[in-house]
Amino acid sequence: MLILGIESTCDETACAIVENGRNILSNIVSSQIDLHKEFGGVVPELACRRHVDVMLPILDQALTEANKSLKDIDAIAVARGPGLIGALLLGLQTAKTLSFALNKPLIGINHIEAHLYAAIMSHDQKITYPALGVVLSGGHTALVLIKDIGHYHLIGQTIDDAIGEAFDKVAKMLNLPYPGGPQIEQLAKKGNPQKFALKPGRVKNRPFDFSFSGLKTSVLYNAFGQNVTQRRPLSEQEMCDVAASFQAAALKDIFDKTLLAAKEQGCHTIIFGGGVTNNDTLRQMFNNSNYNYLWPSKGLSLDNAAMIAGLGYHKFLAGEIANLSLEAATSISF
């Protein structure tokens, strides 16, 4: 079964064609980093305009690369949220139009669920459920009990910033361009992670929730002193030390809470999803302990449409077919 996936939740426009939920025939992503770089974050209006410009060329490219035409497609899966409302509407409208014109089933996909599925489709192994899902993206941070594909129970989540957002904001403090995660990771390699004693946030009586906004503020004070309005320029080594200390504190928090949750929930398999899983330091940390870890392949870590098409196959088999009244959802919880 061939599914066309469409992704436009934030600043990537993507189309992919995936066979039977796993075999990726094409996976085209048009990133907007060049557009948002100078603003230190995604500008929604600019994102929408770019989605309009590139959506159809990206669709054509996905078909050409897969050596398929629209009539070969069996169903259309689209990320219906969470994300920026205007950006979501563009993907949704494209998917609905194709579904209507071609008379093919339409499937609405939760982008966050798809991030976890990206790791599942990256491996051939049969997964023993329940597994622990760890969502580490630019907009979300959550620990989820996965009872099966499509069946989840939320264990914990961030009460303020997402982990990727915290990386991006710390990078912005250091005058580094968006997206900040990869920049911080590179600087951290040359820095001393113990230079600043930074503590990740704890949420009272909720051991599996995250809070990164306090950590972000202590990075600011530690790097620039209390008088943040008159920031002195940091030396290159100081920048590296700030990046290393922040990254060490943030990743240790993820590490500790993930292993605690896996132990408490009796999960032996841990499935990771979201753009922050691109971080090799994070991957190395986890590979030192005794669980079965499933990471998305590097091409499926960041936003992409292969994960949307892949998960779409399972939703189709489960009979979860939408109609033209399918709505965009700026937030969806597990």
| Number of Cβ atoms within 10 Å of the Cβ of 121 | 24
Among 119, 248, 303, 313, indicate the residue that binds ligand KG4 (CB under 6 A). Answer: 303
The yes or no reply on residue 137 touching ligand KG4 (CB under 6 A) is yes
Binding residues for ligand KG4 restricted to 57-96, rule: CB under 6 A: none
Look at residue 103 and give its three-state secondary structure.
coil
Length of the chain measured in residues: 334
138 binds ligand KG4, rule: CB under 6 A: yes
Size of the site for ligand KG4 (CB under 6 A): 21
For ligand KG4, the binding residue among 279, 314, 315, 316 (CB under 6 A) is: 279
Enumerate residues 6+ apart whose C-beta is below 8 A from 166. Answer: 212, 213, 215, 216, 246, 250
Buried b (16+ CB within 10 A) or exposed e, 61-87: ebbeebebeeeebebbbbbbbbbbebb
Among 58, 107, 276, 306, the residue binding ligand KG4 under the rule CB under 6 A is 276
* CB closer to ligand KG4, 63 vs 136: 136
Provide the residue type at 145 as one letter.
L
In what helix (H) or strand (E) does residue 131 lie, and over which residues does it extend?
strand 131-136
Residue from 41, 150, 182, 207 in contact with ligand KG4 (CB under 6 A) = 182
- The residues near 154 (Cβ < 8 Å, ≥ 6 apart) are 142, 143, 144, 145, 333, 334
Q: How far is the CB of 113 from Zn ion (least distance, A)?
A: 11
Cβ atoms of 163 and 172 closer than 8 Å: no
Report if residue 214 touches ligand KG4, rule: CB under 6 A: no
Where in 134-153 is the site for Zn ion (CB under 5 A)?
Answer: 137
- Check binding of 196 to ligand KG4 (CB under 6 A): no
Q: Compute the least distance from the CB of residue 304 to ligand KG4, in Å.
A: 8
Residue 133 binding target from ligand KG4, Zn ion, none, CB below 5 to 8 Å by type: none
Stretch that binds ligand KG4, among 21-29, 137-145, 227-235, 252-260 (CB under 6 A): 137-145
Q: Does 181 bind ligand KG4 (CB under 6 A)?
A: yes
What does 262-327 look like in DSSP terms, one character per residue? Answer: HHHHT-SEEEEESGGGG-HHHHHHHTTSSSEEE---GGGTSS-SHHHHHHHHHHHHTT--B-TT--
Binding mask 291-320 for Zn ion (x = CB under 5 A): ------------x-----------------
Which of 133, 274, 296, 312 forms a contact with ligand KG4 (CB under 6 A)? 274
- The encoded tokens of residue 159 equal 């009460």
Choose which of 24, 271, 302, 311 interacts with ligand KG4 (CB under 6 A): 302
Question: 258-282: string of b/e by CB count within 10 Å (b at 16+)?
Answer: bbebbeebebebbbbbbbbbbbeeb
Chain contacts with Zn ion (rule: CB under 5 A): 137, 303
Q: Using CB under 6 A as the criterion, which residues of the chain lie in contact with ligand KG4 when the complex forms? A: 10, 115, 137-139, 164-165, 167-168, 179-182, 185, 274-276, 278-279, 302-303
